[in-house]
Structure 1
Amino acid sequence: MSKFQTLSWLLPAFLLLSFNLCAKTPVLDTNALLQQNLSSQPEWHQLLHLKNKRPQITSDSFLLSAKSFSPRAELLKTIELYHSSPDAALCRYPGRFYYLFSRQGESLAANDFKQCPDLQKYIRFVPFDNLTLVFASEVVDSASSMMGHIFLKASGKNAKNTDVSHSISFFTEINSMNPLSLIYDGIIGGMDGFFIVRDFTFDKKRYLNEEGRNLWQYGLNLTEYDKQLIKLHIWELKDVDITYLFQSYNCADLTLELLALASPQAVRDELIVTPLDVVKVSKQSGLIKNQQVLLSPEWENRMFLGGMDKTATTSLQKFLKDKAPLDVSAFKKQEDILKGQEYLKFLHRIGKTDQKYINTFNHLTFSSDVNNKLLDITNYKNPLKTPDDSMVGIGWVHENEQRSLDVSLVPASHYLHGDNRQYHSESELLIGEVNLRISFKTGAIKLQKLTLYSMLSLLSDTELDSHWSKQVFMGYKRELSENGEDTGVFETSFGLGKSFEIHEDILVYALLNIGAGLGSDKFYPTLTPQVGAVVNLVQDSKLTFKHELTAGRYNDMRWGERSSLIFSWYGASDLNLSIKAEYREYGKENELATIAGVSFLF
């Protein structure tokens, strides 16, 4: 071999050795870290997804000490992994080591992960220049969307200097139509959870156009360190088996845990954490710096029509439908003119009107004061204004000369007679409602009601869309029997109907429910037609009326009857008051009850 050939072989080897010596692995100071008692620090607990010091993610693909877990044991095994195989440790737990090195005054850079090609690709092409909290509005008649969905959006310029946005979301897929199986899997057994990072345009199109849901976007006030820690920790969750539970580990729980990496005070030890809770906690913790909303076409249509003065709405509809001259005098408020302009633009955007109507309207309503303003839609159905969705209630009951006390707990829900002004429509959603009745005379305690799942959606039609109103009930309740006693029954039912908005403050509806039940040792079918009305009153109050007939209960085709009238007041943010009168009749038996109640929201 010639000297030239020897040199040509040695030169690359020397350069490679020189490069490796210069790019040495960062040194982790074990003693210094252990002296800081890091295993007791909130940030370390959030990196492990602990609740009450117990891991919510128990997979051994995530926890190194899964068989004998403790925060300290996990810390020791994490450090041990780094000392035995630093490259593998950094590729597997970049978030943990980003945190640990920061505690010894050092900062890991992208080059420190050069030995991790997949992680490098993620770092380069999923920028975290800005991080946004996104709330997709609720659809109460959908099992997977009944309380909305919460996720993160990361955006910025990627390695190719292209502006991109990615959704970071945790969800489950519902593949069973069996309600009992769904309840068991969703609450007890657990469902497969999916943690994904994907192009935000996919979710934007899906929620706005396919599902008709608004997207509320809240810009987050985070430091560069916070954003990098969250970004690298998200990588640690990509191949982890995570169990999804509706009541204890859902999209809200995981998203809140990610935010708690930047703001430990965001952690909430609550019975159920909902997507709305995440938005409110983020606001209270000072994480939200700005907000904007993307309205679905259906919500946008309802906002413009419902938000304008009635005379202005009538004038605009006659102008569009009947080609009648526009009554400019109907638009007395600047806000009505702005909404009229935006409504016509919206109709033009979806192909429902011509540009000439926009030009005519703008010409007839022209005002320099108006045309220099923008319409603020961030106060329309704002999630931050919704009441808290957990409550404890107390009711004083007078029924057939008997006095008793009702005590109720609703973990995550809202009533039809509650404050629904920030929801898409008048609705009711009850999950896990428990109602006990205590007799003042005997002290006896009876389970009056146990609602596993109940939903009522009263969405009226508009010129652009048509909707069925829907009702679902599954649970235990007490019903009047032919001997005059309350009999415990377990029933499930489903109903369809229509709702009509006869006035901007008055909604009437009619439903037909079919179902089945078990009571008095009998299995029976049920048929329940129902009519009702919701009247929104002044001073934060409401009147709700319902009348229903039920045939088939106890295998008896005689009609049972129930009517109720509820006056409610919800002027306080954490307190609701109500007075209810209810009449029940079955065969020759009938009862009249009055209940004065107070509910505390939290």
Structure 2
Amino acid sequence: MSLALPLYAAPQPSTERLHALANDSYWLSLGHYERGKLGGWRSYVDDPAFFLAADGASDPAAELSATLNALYKPAELGDQHPQCVYPARTRWLRAQLQLNDLPQPTCSEYRGWFKEIQPHSTVLVFPAAYLNSPSSMFGHTLLRIDQADVDTNSTALLSYALNFGAYIEGMDNSLLYAWKGLVGGYPGLFSLVPYREKLAEYSRLENRDLWEYRLNLSSAETERMVEHVWELKQVRFDYYFFDENCSYRLLELLEIARPGIELTEQFPLTAIPTDTVRAVQQAGLVERIDYRPSRERELLGRADDLDSAEQDWVNRIAADEQLLNSAEFQALPAPRRALIQDATYRLLRYQAAGEARDSAQAKRSFTLLQAINRNPPPQLEIPRPDLPQDGHQSRTWQLGAGTHEDRAFAEYGLRMAYHDLTDNAEGFPLGAQIEILQLKLRQYEGNHWQVQQLDLANIRSLTPRGQLLKPWSWQVGGGLQRVPGESDDDETLVSHFNGGVGGTWQLGDDSLGFALATARLEHHEDFASFISPALGFDTGLLWRNPLGNLSLEAKGDYFHNGEVRRSLSLNQQWELSTNLGLRLSAQRQFSQLSSPQNEVMLELKWYHY
């Protein structure tokens, strides 16, 4: 007795037809191809296992031909059959070439996975920027894949989160993580995990607000995207913070879901998450926007209803829940006790985020819940902040004119990303600054040009302290900077690295005061030592006013060699439009190397990407 397996032969389309299919934008999207810098093609995928052709990473036509032949392998290969491994390629080629005679492998693993997810609709999720995490200081994006009953039965927590991120083995510190992320030192992988896990990670562990943008993708478009995600499981990409990052990869998936939309081509250099969210909205993909405040914002929102004495009660009860039964606390009006109890419970939840379970704290929380049930507070209403994508765009061109002492100058600048303390305010928290790769060139009278400033990074987190939460403020920066030289007309270009830590306090609804102790390392050609350390201070005021943002700042550096350098500066920005600002800057510098120097500049800032 003999068993004859059915034989299948792949069709042989004409050379012209194969060439047309290989250059179809959808096939190029399935292979994540882009035009090479020197011509030809290259795929963003950095995993040879993704390709069926030996030169598939650089030859879309060869990969298409190899895929077409592979689809006709015997069905007995089961889950290893190319149709099971590449369902998105299979569906597209079947439709394009009317492949009605394909073998019929069962693909039980893929079909079971797809049935478990039940993709029906898509939500773009944006966890807001979180300065204390190097990987998330610009924010992050991921996709939520919802089932059909997500709205009627409120089942979002049963949905799946589609995420792209750096895969890190071991425990790299923050500086190493940042460096390797800049130079592509980590592989990037897609993952599909329960949404409740991501929700816990971003809104609870990191205390980040979440913005959810429901997209108008049809169920067929969502399914098409998810079937391609199956093709990408365990497939490695290089990961770069500024371009080939979470946001860029998700834009590629949306181009798979809805052929014809052009999203990735808008980001040839950088893909800052807020810019990509804006691009998705401008492409007409956003149907609805929902906001989930973080635990921190909810706690502070409840604390706004309490006076100083009541906030003191919150701290005391958080340390000893027995005070709930004290005569002094019970003497307070019931509505005030309700607010205090609710704020205390929220404080305990905030403190417990990311920590191992503590039985004493769990007992306090349970006691507070019982008290809250007996005397419930009014519903907490958190006003929705400005939409992140309504803020200014990331890249900034700068054109200024001013005087340094009695010398007139013009200044030209470019900053790759993305916000400083006095930039246009909408969509950004007061006291947050992230500047990456900023260059300023200055042209003095007589056509004398000089590099005025080159910042590799300049990051500041000025978060106000209060009775309930007492975060530290900090700053770090490094690059090249002009400082006073030995003659009044001279400025010396020095390399430096600096940092500081201290506190920030809320002075009013729209104003902050801050004071930090600082340290600085500097290479100065006029100093005897190659590297000169300094200790100092940085203090000032921030005011968000009707015109824009104002900052007043005083700094001092006291070097070990006796040099003392201090400065006083004032900046006021006028918001001409969302992406256009006018800034007046005035500065007075003091140095033992020269007499005091004054500088005034008017600068036009244009934000775009």
Q: State the alpha-carbon separation in 2 of the partners of residues 348 and 122 from structure 1.
A: 40
Q: Which residue identity lines up with residue 526 of structure 1 in the other structure?
A: A
Q: State the alpha-carbon separation in 1 of the partners of residues 440 and 51 from structure 2.
A: 40
Farther-moved stretch of structure 1 (447-456 vs 295-304) = 295-304
Residue 33 (structure 1) shift? 9.2
- Aligned-residue sequence identity (percent) comes to 21
SS at match of 1:216: strand
Which residue among 485, 509, 514 is the counterpart of 1:509? Answer: 514
Q: Which residue identity lines up with residue 202 of structure 1 in the other structure?
A: E
Which residue among 214, 220, 224 is the counterpart of 2:219? Answer: 224
Return the TM-score normalized by structure 2: 0.80
Counterparts in 2 of 1:280 and 1:108: CA distance versus 1, 3 Å: farther
- Paired residues of 2:311 and 2:467 also in contact (CA < 8 A): no
C-alpha deviations, 1:222-279, integer Å up to 9, x for none? 1233212211111111121211111221111111111122342223332211111221
* 1:41 equivalent in alignment to 2:24: yes
- Within 5 Å, which residues of 2 pair with 1:342-491? 354-355=371-372, 377=383, 379-439=384-444, 441-484=445-488, 485-491=490-496
- Paired residues of 2:34 and 2:44 also in contact (CA < 8 A): yes
Counterparts in 2 of 1:327 and 1:225: CA distance versus 1, 3 Å: closer
Residue 313 (structure 1) shift? 6.1
Farther-moved stretch of structure 1 (162-171 vs 406-415) = 162-171
* 1:170 equivalent in alignment to 2:164: yes
* 1:78 equivalent in alignment to 2:72: no
> Which residue in the other structure is 1:543 paired with?
550
C-alpha deviations, 1:385-409, integer Å up to 9, x for none? 2221221111112112212221111
SS at match of 1:265: coil
C-alpha deviations, 1:187-209, integer Å up to 9, x for none? 33532223212122111111122
- Within 5 Å, which residues of 2 pair with 1:193-272? 193-263=188-258, 264-270=261-267, 271-272=269-270
Counterparts in 2 of 1:565 and 1:73: CA distance versus 1, 3 Å: same
Residue 325 (structure 1) shift? 5.8
> Which residue in the other structure is 2:597 paired with?
591
> Which residue in the other structure is 1:292 paired with?
290
SS at match of 1:121: helix
Residue 178 (structure 1) shift? 7.4
Which residue among 100, 121, 127 is the counterpart of 2:93? Answer: 100
Q: How many residues align?
A: 548
Q: State the alpha-carbon separation in 2 of the partners of residues 305 and 597 from structure 1.
A: 40
- Paired residues of 2:414 and 2:438 also in contact (CA < 8 A): yes
- Paired residues of 1:425 and 1:457 also in contact (CA < 8 A): no
- Structure 1 unpaired stretches of 5+: 1-9, 307-311, 329-339, 363-370
Which residue among 532, 543, 547 is the counterpart of 2:540? Answer: 532
C-alpha deviations, 1:558-601, integer Å up to 9, x for none? 32011110010124111111000011111143211111111111
- Paired residues of 1:565 and 1:581 also in contact (CA < 8 A): yes
C-alpha deviations, 1:268-308, integer Å up to 9, x for none? 332211111221111111111112122211022334566xx
Q: Which residue identity lines up with residue 455 of structure 1 in the other structure?
A: I
Q: State the alpha-carbon separation in 1 of the partners of residues 402 and 282 from structure 2.
A: 37
Q: State the alpha-carbon separation in 2 of the partners of residues 542 and 224 from structure 1.
A: 45
Counterparts in 2 of 1:596 and 1:305: CA distance versus 1, 3 Å: farther
Counterparts in 2 of 1:225 and 1:403: CA distance versus 1, 3 Å: same
Which residue among 142, 148, 160 is the counterpart of 2:139? Answer: 148
C-alpha deviations, 1:483-503, integer Å up to 9, x for none? 342212221122111000011
- Paired residues of 1:299 and 1:424 also in contact (CA < 8 A): no
> Which residue in the other structure is 1:577 paired with?
582
> Which residue in the other structure is 2:272 paired with?
274
> Which residue in the other structure is 1:518 paired with?
523
Q: Which residue identity lines up with residue 212 of structure 1 in the other structure?
A: N
Q: Which residue identity lines up with residue 83 of structure 2 in the other structure?
A: L
- Paired residues of 2:517 and 2:536 also in contact (CA < 8 A): yes
Q: Which residue identity lines up with residue 37 of structure 1 in the other structure?
A: A
SS at match of 2:233: coil
> Which residue in the other structure is 1:190 paired with?
185
Counterparts in 2 of 1:476 and 1:318: CA distance versus 1, 3 Å: closer
Farther-moved stretch of structure 1 (65-74 vs 245-254) = 65-74
- Paired residues of 2:312 and 2:467 also in contact (CA < 8 A): no
Q: State the alpha-carbon separation in 2 of the partners of residues 130 and 276 from structure 1.
A: 22
SS at match of 1:37: helix
Q: Which residue identity lines up with residue 49 of structure 1 in the other structure?
A: H
C-alpha deviations, 1:149-187, integer Å up to 9, x for none? 1111113279xx9983221111125644374x5565333
Q: State the alpha-carbon separation in 1 of the partners of residues 306 and 582 from structure 2.
A: 34
- Paired residues of 1:436 and 1:448 also in contact (CA < 8 A): yes
SS at match of 2:111: helix
- Paired residues of 1:413 and 1:430 also in contact (CA < 8 A): yes
Residue 425 (structure 1) shift? 4.3
Q: State the alpha-carbon separation in 2 of the partners of residues 568 and 197 from structure 1.
A: 43
- Paired residues of 2:120 and 2:223 also in contact (CA < 8 A): no
Q: State the alpha-carbon separation in 2 of the partners of residues 82 and 342 from structure 1.
A: 65
Residue 448 (structure 1) shift? 1.6
C-alpha deviations, 1:70-97, integer Å up to 9, x for none? 3333322322332456763212222222
Q: Which residue identity lines up with residue 265 of structure 1 in the other structure?
A: E
SS at match of 1:422: coil
- Paired residues of 1:460 and 1:501 also in contact (CA < 8 A): yes
Counterparts in 2 of 1:487 and 1:104: CA distance versus 1, 3 Å: same
Q: State the alpha-carbon separation in 2 of the partners of residues 343 and 260 from structure 1.
A: 49
Farther-moved stretch of structure 1 (446-455 vs 314-323) = 314-323
- Structure 2 unpaired stretches of 5+: 36-40, 315-328, 350-364
Q: State the alpha-carbon separation in 1 of the partners of residues 19 and 218 from structure 2.
A: 23
Q: Which residue identity lines up with residue 173 of structure 2 in the other structure?
A: M
> Which residue in the other structure is 2:48 paired with?
60
